[in-house]
Amino acid sequence: SDSFKSSSSSTPDFKIAEVPANLTGNRWEAYYCEAIMMIALLGYLINFLIGRTKNSQLATTIFRSQRDLLQRNFSLVGDNGQTKNTSSDEQIDTMHKESENLYILWCSGRISIDSMLVELRFIKRQCLFNSLAALIKSINDTIVYTMDYNKDDMDTFVFCLARKRCAAKLHRDMNDLSQFCAERKNADKKGLSANYQILSELGEVSSAIIDTKVADFMD
């Protein structure tokens, strides 16, 4: 009997630990952080698809609206230096996508102009954070035309046509404009809207560049 008592007294006492209620059973409250993350990722994915599609549609619409004008002035439209067959309708129907918010188009085959690069710099609509920032601060899509002239056929000069607010900023920030263009002139005498201003190193340059076609295109 003494041995039995000693063995029973040496037996350890078992205690059942108390488990928190949120870790017992299939309770959705335990996964609210994961649910929020999944909803955020899903929203980001949906915004990415919508933004990418929107930029692609804008690029296609802009190119189709300007394709006839470009083809009348350049013999080769849509050549990026790597295409094998530029006469294909599929290759000249859209612009080349550099990224989800940048589309480019090369044009060449015009007297005194080596090439022209058209850049469509869209808002980063595929990024949810940029889309939200655009709601707070106004951000615009921009089109940039970069033309490389034949240096043997013409002299270099400084010329700028921009809206009044943008022209003031460019004249202040760009050294060429501030150094060679002393004043900003209104463009309404050239058939353009009064919202535009001209910065030109040579007075006759604006008359040679801005004709009725350019005025109609800008307005």
Q: Could you report the per-residue pLDDT of 131-186, keeping only the tens digit for each?
A: 888 888 888 888 888 888 777 777 788 888 888 888 888 888 888 888 888 888 88
The mean pLDDT of the chain is: 79
pLDDT tens digits for 90-113?
Answer: 446 678 889 999 999 998 888 878
Q: Quick one: tokens of 140?
A: 């615009």
pLDDT-derived band of residue 46, with 50, 70 and 90 as boundaries? very high
**Residue range 55-75: mean pLDDT, rounded:** 89
| Residue indicated by tokens 């150094």 | 179
pLDDT-derived band of residue 22, with 50, 70 and 90 as boundaries? low
Q: Rounded CA gap, 120 and 140, in Å?
A: 11
Q: Rounded CA gap, 145 and 129, in Å?
A: 28
pLDDT-derived band of residue 39, with 50, 70 and 90 as boundaries? very high
pLDDT surpasses 90 at 121: yes
- Contact between 146 and 114 under an 8 Å Cβ cutoff? The reply is no
Give me Rg for the CA atoms of the chain: 32
Query: What counts of helices (H) and strands (E) characterise the chain?
Result: 7, 8
Alpha helices by DSSP H, listed for the chain, are: 2-9, 32-73, 128-136, 164-173, 175-180, 203-209, 212-218
Residue spans per domain, the chain: 23-154, 155-219
In this prediction, residue 89 carries a pLDDT of 46
Q: Quick one: tokens of 13?
A: 């006492």
| Residue indicated by tokens 């940029």 | 130
| Residue indicated by tokens 């909803």 | 39
Q: Quick one: tokens of 174?
A: 């760009």
Q: Rounded CA gap, 29 and 4, in Å?
A: 50
Q: What percent of the chain lies above the pLDDT cut of 70?
A: 80
Comparing 78 with 80, the larger pLDDT belongs to: 78
